[in-house]
């Protein structure tokens, strides 16, 4: 149980385009989802936390207009990188937790490369 998927697993796009990454909880209701960014050989950096039906809470320094997060249902959250640039290239990982749950279940990650 507690499986989280991400799609796509990798994506290459041109500078200036927008990219959407999906995060799905497959076998539980995810009341809270988290989006992380990981640079090579570094730890995970929390970008934002989203609760189903509410606006996401962004961490300091994360541009909310650039990284649009939607958590419209209890099984799906999306991260849209708008007007992507090469510096947005990174590994993006989502996680999800259920109602009252303290444990986060992680997706397999999405590798974004912006040319």
Partner 1 sequence: AQSVTQLGSHVSVSEGALVLLRCNYSSSVPPYLFWYVQYPNQGLQLLLKYTTGATLVKGINGFEAEFKKSETSFHLTKPSAHMSDAAEYFCAVSNSGAGSYQLTFGKGTKLSVIP
Binding site for partner 1 (CB under 8 A): 4, 6, 32, 34, 42-44, 46, 49, 51, 57, 91, 93, 95, 97, 101-109, 111
If phi over 0 gives left and psi between -120 and 50 gives alpha, with beta otherwise, what is residue 27?
A: alpha
By beta-carbon proximity to partner 1, the closer residue of 18 and 73 is: 73
Q: At its nearest, how many Å lie between partner 1 and the CB of residue 24?
A: 13
CA–CA–CA angle 8, 16, 34 (5° rounding): 45
Alpha-carbon span 48 to 114, nearest angstrom:
21
Q: At its nearest, how many Å lie between partner 1 and the CB of residue 16?
A: 26
Alpha-carbon span 22 to 69, nearest angstrom:
10
Q: At its nearest, how many Å lie between partner 1 and the CB of residue 108?
A: 4
By beta-carbon proximity to partner 1, the closer residue of 107 and 114 is: 107
By beta-carbon proximity to partner 1, the closer residue of 29 and 83 is: 29
Q: Which of 19, 1, 3 is nearest to 11 (CA)?
A: 19
Q: At its nearest, how many Å lie between partner 1 and the CB of residue 96?
A: 11
Residue 23: CB atoms within 10 Å: 28
By beta-carbon proximity to partner 1, the closer residue of 44 and 74 is: 44
């Amino acid at each position: 149980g507690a499986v989280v998927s991400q799609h796509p697993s990798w994506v290459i796009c041109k500078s200036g385009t927008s990219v959407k990454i999906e995060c799905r909880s497959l076998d539980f209701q995810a009341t809270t989802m988290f989006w992380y960014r990981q640079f090579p050989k570094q730890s995970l950096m929390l970008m934002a936390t989203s609760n189903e039906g509410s606006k996401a809470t962004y961490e300091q320094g994360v541009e909310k207009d650039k990284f649009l997060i939607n958590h419209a249902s209890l099984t799906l959250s999306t991260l849209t990188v708008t007007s992507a640039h090469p510096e947005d290239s990174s590994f993006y990982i989502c996680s999800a937790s259920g109602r009252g749950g303290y444990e986060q279940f992680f997706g397999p990650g999405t590798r974004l490369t912006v040319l």
